[in-house]
Each structure stands twice: as structure tokens, then as C-alpha cells.
Amino acid sequence: MSVDNNKAMENRLARPDVRQKVTGAAKFAADMFPKNVVYAKFIRFPFGKGKVETADVEAARKVKGVISVDVNMQADAKYAGHSIGRVVAETRDAIDDAVEALGLKFRFTDPRSRAEDVYQGVPEASPEDLDKLKNIFDQTPVVVEATYTTQVQTHTSLEPHGSMVDHRGEELEAWTSTQAVMGCQEGFENASGLSASKITVHAEYVGGGFGSKFSIGAEGGLATEISKQQGRPCRVVLDRREEHSDGGNRPGSIQYMKIGADKSGKIIGGRVHLMSSVGFGRGRGGVKNPNYYDFGTIVKTEADESLNAGLPAAFRAPGYPQGAFAYESMIDELAAGLRMDPVEVRLKNETSDRRRKQLKMGAELIGWDGRVADGASPGRIKTGYGCGVASWGNGKGKCQADIDVYRNGDLEVRIGIQDIGTGASAVVIDVVAYHLGIDRNRIKGRLGNSNYPPGPGSGGSVTSRLSAPALMDAAESAMKAVRKIVAKEMKVADDEVEYSAGHFNKKGSTQKVAWKDACALLPTEKVTVSGEFNDEFVGNGVSDCAQFAQVEVDTETGIVHVRKVVAVHACGKPVNRLTAENQICGGVIQGISFALFEQRILDRRTGGHVNHDMLYYKIAGSKDVPEIIPVLDVEEGDNGVKSLGEPATIPTSAAIANAVANATGARVRHLPITPARVLAALDSAKGGVA
């Protein structure tokens, strides 16, 4: 049977584990408290740079319930949150008691705390490039020269990083909060020295990953070591403060642009310099400036500057939202200089017909017609509109899946992927249900276990894209396995039996056998089949999108309210419309949070991370979420399942920034767009820039 790509496979059914998640029946790694568990935790340096001066280790070791305390007095701490020791104890409170008994005193030296202080400026271009640039700006009547900055966004998954490891000498079992259950099996292999066949990693439920949970981390390593040493299960789960300081982050950026356009609005080129402010080592920066638009001839340089701060990690579309904020802002500034409509300028420079179409769709849905000139919205509370685009690639990869077919017609699907909150658990059963034309309630999906057939880590928005073809293939094998029995019963060759919509029938005959009745013919209680990723159901092309925002800005207070976001996304064939739309809404909300609220604040003197909680590390809450209109843009010829999770968060902050500038007539070139910055922009210009 070939895949009928024109047949709608989508549904709007809730994910199968929704009840468990809502009622608390779902057990996450952080919920695991086996009998006889032992707890371990890192001791962390609280300031940007320095050493431990005094630590009363003897006193700490005497605390009731404490098993061991180690402090590295020689450690050169390089950031707030840097591990300088560890405590092992019978309870979590005993750990905190031990840390208190240490009476730690620290010596700190001047930290590198602020990106603007370490920024080296724009390096001079080579004589050759200077000629190029001169040539460009000679022919561009409109030039935007601006520096845009983005903040550090720290990972704040609802479930913190952590593992509960039971090292039983010859074998190891771990419950880990991860977005790569297979990768973690390898991680525990390295940490324990046991072979993969002796290791089981569980990640049945995961409370968010966003790029920060691919490895077992230092916490998984510590749990393994202590479990082996103590011969007991060991639990190491980070607290919220550790999450903020050492759980990874989206690095900050300073992005210089000088870009010129001709009179028609066509961008001719210019100079770009991108700096990422990273952690205490170099690298892992990487602002992404993809060619969604044709920017012409660009002279580009890049640099990373280190801070005494926690290391960056992959973060939902790493490098992209910060890049989009800058170049989409730049395009709107060009449009203002050209006195052209920002959508028109985008259409002029777009490289993709699909996105051109999406820009027009989005403009219509947001009510772009109602947009007035920058700052011309009447009253103290002004309305503005803005937009941005993005795209995401859809490469090939590997994935396998097994299906057990039971004699009663039920199926169990096993696949070594994980559901980090995206609804992958729904996709697993819905793809099989669609392919076999049977009720999804007949199918039990099992994922999040390293003993299942290997699947990809959930990074690069691949989970649905790579698993759907493997699941299709396995479902096809399941059909064939049952068909074999049916054909035997009908006394014909296998290929004389057709299958469609849950029924087998002999070619040329009206005689039908329902799936359930066919399975009853199985000679054994169950039969197991396999499938793997193949080209038949792979998403083709890229996942394009365009997003539009409508905001209200209170010009007396500088407070921004996002009122509406329209998000038009190509995602191939939607498997489950509800989870797809949820992915888009989640990306948009995270984008709003990045645009307006989130930022790591380091104390400039001590390098301490002062907003290491969820009080002052501000994340969009329910009242900050506007009306969101997710639009799944499905065209004839959209085959297979395409990526969706990451593009959904790329253009949101840019669209909001542009909408704020449209409302107020004053541009904020720095994220997050706080009341302080909006007021400063309004002040410095009455139509200017801050």
C-alpha cells in the first residue's frame, strides 16, 4: 500500500496522556523517590569569579543525616552557579543543613558581568571589503545603521534537570528528565562503564527540554557515581536557582548593521557584525542570520565574548530569534526611511514564494489595513502592527519502531523517542491509527525508554518528522503480517488481498474481513513487526512561516500589551491539528516572553545572578497571553510531516518589536522591551530611537 498523501490524516484529539498529566498520575524523573534513596547536590559558588575562603567541612560532616561533604578549596570559580563541591545525605534538608554548617565565606574578584562592557566594537573591514561597501552605499539612497542587542534567556523548563539513578552493580536503571532518551543511555554508559545492554533509561514524561536536556549532565554523572559508591539509588535534581544559573541559556547578542536599499526598496547590501556574549569560555554563541530575504552583498564578521556567567546551551531555534529581532527590525527601519509599507519591503526582498503568500495571508488576518503610520495611532494608548518570517529545514534521519499486534486487534507501539511536552505521544498513535484506518483507542503508544527501538533526540524539531515515516513503515508491516494470515485463510496469495479503511478484502470480491476479525486468526497471542525511517513519508522542502503581532503601548507608562498574534505555518501534513496548533501557540508565547520579559540579570559588582528565581526572572503568564491565531498552511503537494516546534518561536519577538515601533513612532533596539526602554525611546526622540 502506498501512502495517500492527499488524504487528510489530521484529527483534533487530545494527547493520550492528558489525564495523567492533569491529575498528577504521570510520574516525572523529579517524582521518583524510591525506598532507600540517597540525595546528592552540588555546592555552588554564588558570585561571578573567585574562590572559597573558608569552609567548615568538619562541622558539615557532623550534621545529622550527612554522608559526605567535599569542598574544593582550590577551585577557581568562573561564574555564579559554578560547582565547588558536593554533599551526599539521607535527606534533602540534611544537604541544606550541611551547606549552612559549612559557613562558607567567599572571596570574589571583578567579574565580567555585562555584555556591553566586553563588546569590542565593529572590526575594521579589509580594504577590499571597504571598496565593496563604498560601492553599495553609493547606490543606496536609504541606509539604516543601527546596533541591536538581545538579552540572555535562561532555560526554565517546568521540570528541572535531574536524574534518579539506581546502579545495581551489574546493571543500571535511570529516570532522567531528558529530550534524548537514547543519548542518555550512552551518557550513562560512559558514566558507569557498563555496556548499553545493561542500562535502561526512563523518560516517559518530561516537563520541557527546549534544547537544554540532551545529555545526562553533571547531575546524571553525580547520581551515577554516588549510587554506585553507596549501593543505593541516588537522586540529583537541580533546584530553580541552579536551573537559572547552570541549566544553560540562550546567549546574549550585540548586532551591528549598516544596510542600504535602493529607491524601490530592494536591499543592496552592507556591513554586519554579530557578537554573542557567552559563558566563561568562548564558543557556543552563534547568532543566526539566514537568507530568508535577499540581503545582497553583505560583509559579515562574528565574534564571541566571554562573561563570568553560566554556559549557553541549545535553546529552541538556537541563534535564530536573536538574529530575527535584529534583521526584521532593520527591515522596518528601512521601510520607514523609504516611506514604504513594511510588508511591501519584505515582499520585495523575499526569496520564497511560499512566505510571500504567508505574508499576505497574515496581513489579512491581523487586519494590516488598519495599520496607521508610525506613532500616528491616537490617544495615550497606541496600537501598532508588526511582522516577521522564518523557515526551518527538513533533513533526513534515523528512527525505528516496533509494533505488537494482538489477537484481539489491539496494538502496542514502541519507539525510542520522548514526549517533552510537544504531544509526540499523540503523534505516535495517530500516525498508526491513520495508516491502518483503525480507532486510536486500540493503540497503546510507548515511548521514553532506551530499551525501545532507537529514535532521535528531540532537537532540531525532528521528533514527529523522523518518527512518522518509521511508524508508517511499522504499521504497513503490521498490516502485512495480518494479511498473510487472512490470505492463507482465503487460500489466495498475499497480494491478492487488499487492505483499506480497517478492512481486508479479496481482490475483485466484496467479501470483507474487519481488522479485529482478521487479528483473531493470529496463531499466537501476538505478532511483533518493525519499521524504520524511509523516504516514503518524509516531509519535503522547508517549513516556512510568517507571524504578525498587534500590540497596545501605553505611552504614559511604557507598558506593552500584545493583543493578537497571527502565526501562519507550513508543517507538511498535520497529523494531529491540536498538538500542531499547541506547538505554534507555545512558540509564540515563548517569543512574547523573550520580547517583553525574560532576561538574566547579573549583579555588576559581584557577578551574582540576582534574578535566579521565577519572581524577578519574569516569564509571560496567563494574562500576558494574547489571542493567538495559529494557521496551518497546507498546500497541495505538502507531503509527510515537517518541523514546526522551532520556527514557531523565531519571528515573534521581531514582530512585536516592529509593532511597538509602529505604535509609538519610537524604536526600541534592545530586548526585552521593558517600560524603561519604551519610555526612553519616546523621550529621546518623539519619533526616535533608544
Give the binding site for another protein (CB under 8 A).
Answer: 46-47, 93, 96-97, 100, 106, 379-381, 554, 556-559, 561, 596-597, 601, 603-606, 608, 610-613, 615-616, 618, 620-624, 674-676, 679-680
Torsions phi, psi for 370 (to 5 deg): -80, 0
Antiparallel, parallel or unpaired: β 559-569 and 627-632: parallel
Decide whether 216 or 560 has the Cβ nearer to another protein. Answer: 560
How far apart are CB 611 and another protein at their closest, in Å? 6
Which lies closer to another protein via its Cβ, residue 56 or residue 410? 56
Task: Please say which residue, 99 or 411, places its beta carbon nearer to another protein.
Answer: 99
Count of C-beta atoms within a 10 Å radius of residue 127: 8
Minimum CB separation from another protein for residue 288, in Å? 28
Beta bridge partners of 149: 254, 670
* Structure-block grid coordinates of residue 223: 547520581
Least CB distance to another protein at residue 381 (A): 6
- Rounded to the nearest whole angstrom, what is the least distance from the CB of residue 664 to another protein in the complex? 14
Q: How far is the CB of 601 from another protein (least distance, A)?
A: 6
Q: Which is nearer to another protein, 520 or 610 (CB)?
A: 610
Phi, psi (5° rounding) for residue 556?
A: -85, -30
Residue 680 CB partners (closer than 8 Å, separation 6+): 690
Contact 48, 76 (CB under 8 A): no
CB-nearer residue toward another protein: 50 or 323: 50
Amino acid letter, 196: A
Looking at residue 74, the DSSP 8-state letter turns out to be T
CB of 380 to another protein, least distance (A): 5
d(CA 326, CA 337): 16
DSSP string, 231-270: TS-EEEE--HHHHHHHS-EEPEEEEEEEEEE-TTS-EEEE
φ, ψ of residue 98 to 5 degrees: the values are: -65, -45
Please state the closest distance from residue 79 (CB atom) to another protein, in A. 14
Nearer residue to another protein within complex by CB, 454 or 675: 675
Question: Please, which residue, 498 or 603, has the CB nearer to another protein?
Answer: 603
Both ends of the chain: CA-CA distance in Å?
61
Toward another protein, which CB reaches closer, 343 or 588?
Answer: 588
Nearest distance in Å: CB 12, another protein: 27
CB 54 within 8 A of CB 71: no
Q: How far apart are CA 342 and CA 345, in angstroms?
A: 5
Alpha-carbon distance of 216 to 211, in angstroms, equals 13
Residue whose CB is less far from another protein, 580 or 596: 596
Output 92 or 512, the one with its CB closest to another protein: 92
Backbone angles phi, psi at 259, to 5 degrees: -130, 140
Q: 385, 412, 417: which is closest to 399 by C-alpha?
A: 417
Shortest separation between residue 422's beta carbon and another protein, angstroms: 23
CB 174 within 8 A of CB 185: no
Angle between helix 424-436 and 577-596 (nearest 10): 160
Between 1 and 610, name the residue whose CB sits nearer to another protein: 610
Q: Compute the least distance from the CB of residue 679 to another protein, in Å.
A: 5
C-alpha cell at 6: 492527499
Distance in angstroms (rounded) separating the CA atoms of residues 45 and 102: 13
346 sits in which H/E element: helix 342-349
We find the least distance from the C-beta atom of residue 584 to another protein, in angstroms, to be 21
Between CA 455 and CA 468 the distance in angstroms is: 11
